[in-house]
Amino acid sequence: MDIILTLETMTRLILLFLSVYLFHRTYSPPVGNFKIPALGPSFSEKREWLLLWLARYVYPSVKTAYMTVTFLECLFIIVTHYFDNPSRIFLAEYLPFPIKTPQPSPSYVATFGLLTGITGGLLRISSYKALGDAFTFNLTQTSPKLITTGPYSLVRHPSYLGMSLTSIGVSVYHLSPGSWLRESSILQSSLWKIAVGLWILMTVFAPNISLALRADDEDQLMKRMFGKEWEAWRKVVRYKIYPGLY
């Protein structure tokens, strides 16, 4: 077997396993629990309620879904590269694998998406560690000091950037040609199309839009808490979430 193909395959499997771990951490509170606030009359209160309701009741299923799809992706990679006939593997008739092999490997765009998702997860975890016990899903005054080092020297809300990169990156990979999701033809099913649409809505659009709006409220909270210290930091770290953009 071509050693280069073997190394590429093993590397991709390792990156996928890493993405599962980081995706799980990204969508899980680092310490303790969090409370769903009351559904107040203002837009920001409704937004907070929706965001934390999703975190409590929807994202556990999202994490399970990503783990399942990635497991099938890894199995698909192994079958494609190490078996001449997928029908010979155990339970093959019950798994939605393509009939013909070998299948093309994901493109450079897909690989870049996977690496972007992993980078986002690492950034999210580094934000957890920088804030320690002060990191919470709730928008509250819990931090005893203003953290301006590590990921907080890049943007003012690096955990939001991390979540954005993770959700977009892994979606790009799994929806690219060469992935199990695309090559298995299951997307021809209306049910799977709806499922993918809900995935994009719940992991890409809803949290990214909500967090972009939430960054303003969090900035105002930090300004009230730390005053001139926060103003000085804002002048150095100009962007809220996306470097050079926002």
Q: What is the mean pLDDT of each run of 10 residues along the chain (246 residues)?
A: 69 94 94 84 89 91 94 84 60 57 71 96 95 83 79 95 96 91 84 91 89 90 90 94 91
Length of the chain, please?
A: 246
Amino acid occupying residue 113: G
Domain 3-236 belongs to what topology?
Four Helix Bundle (Hemerythrin (Met), subunit A) (1.20.120)
- Give the 3-state secondary structure of residue 40: coil
Domain boundaries, the chain: 3-236
> Scanning the structure block, which residue is given the tokens 């870049």?
112
Tokens of 2: 């071509």
Q: Residue 3: which residues within 8 A CB-CB, separation 6 or more?
A: none
Task: Mark 177-212 as b/e (b = at least 16 C-beta within 10 Å).
Answer: ebbbbbbbebeeeeeeeeebeebeebbbebbbebbb
Whole-number Å distance between alpha carbons of 154 and 132: 18
Distance CA 142, CA 70 (A): 36
In this predicted structure, what is the pLDDT of residue 8? 82
